[in-house]
Structures are given as C-alpha cells and as structure tokens.
Structure 1
Amino acid sequence: MDKVVLYEVESSKIRISMLLYFNEKDELVFDGYDIGPAVKEIYGDSDYEYTYTISWDEVVKMAEVLQVELSNRRLFLEHLKNMFQGNDAYSKFGKFLKESGLKYGQSTWH
C-alpha cells in the first residue's frame, strides 16, 4: 500500500505523523496521529488520532475538481502531498473537502 507523508516530526515532547493512502476498500484515508507529553497536557491523554475517509466515488470527484489523472494512484497521492503537506495538513485538507462539496467521514479520538 502506497502512503505519502504529509507531515512528520519527533521531539522529546511530541511525535506527529500525518499520512495519506488508499485502504483495502479503495477509500482515501488521511491518518493523523500525535503522541507524547505535549498531547497529554492538551487532551489529558498521551495520544490523539484524527482521520478523514473519502469513498472511491468521492475520490473520483476530487480528481475532477483538481483536474488530476487518477489512473496512477501514487502520482495522485504525490499531487495531494504537494498541495497539503505541512504541520497544518489536517486543517488544509479538511477545508478543501468542505469547500469542494465532497462527502467524507471524519473521526477523532483522544
């Protein structure tokens, strides 16, 4: 399974990982995970998970909105990486989904 890293950092206080990939159901998944003492200070628990899940039908619409070819998933993921990478990737990606009118699932856990 191809994955692209949108943001990754590690220090003594926090480790952050944000990835994009297609799962076994052909859904596009934004998978974010923060862990460490800094997270515990904010949420009262040492880890925080956050995801967006987009069905294949909505991914097809996304490709049309972006005017990007979807036949090569790796290149599609790289295109998304170039658009959304950085420590604010989750916010940027969510804003794009909302503004584009795409349907998606969202979950957080801490």
Structure 2
Amino acid sequence: MKFKGFIFLVLLLVIATAAFSIEGYDKYLHFSVSFTAYGISRYFFGEVGGFLFTTLLGVGKEAYDFISGRGCAEFGDLIADFTGTYFGHYYCSFLSFRPILIFYLSL
C-alpha cells in the first residue's frame, strides 16, 4: 500500500511541476519553498503546527508583497504555496519517522 501511495505522490508532483512551469518559474519556487518549509516546521511544531506555520508563511509573503509594493502579490502564488504545503504533508504521512528536511528536485 505504501508503494502505491509513493507512486501516486510522484505522479502528482510531476503533474504539478508541469502545471507550474507553464505559469512560470515563480510558482515552482513557491511550491518548492512551501514543500520544504512544511517538512522543517513539522519537525519542530508537529503536524498541525507545521501546516499552520507554512500556511502563514505563504500568506505573510503575499501580504508583504501587496503592502510593500516591492513584489507582485498573486493569487496563483498562494495556490502554489498551499499545494506545496499539502504535498509536503502528504509526503510526510507515508514516512515512519519525522524528517527534519524534505525537498523536491526536478531535473
């Protein structure tokens, strides 16, 4: 059963990478940072705390971009952040230990 879940995750990540690359490299970066940030924050704050921390990180970044005017706040960035957080959670749910670092590498 775990192998099927891993295959499912790999296919979803490949599809997500293709979808985000169409929109632009920025969305892929949002996805990757959220994916990795979830793994790190989950290690320190637990499952729910990691999800909340990573979600607030993404929302905070977009709020900063909107208020400061230095960046470009986009709804698509929030979707990429939430998707990265979800996939990070999904990936960690199949592990028998709590990792401190997870990352996604696209070639």
Q: TM-score with structure 2 length normalisation?
A: 0.27
Decide which structure has greater helix share: 2
TM-score normalised according to structure 1 size: 0.26
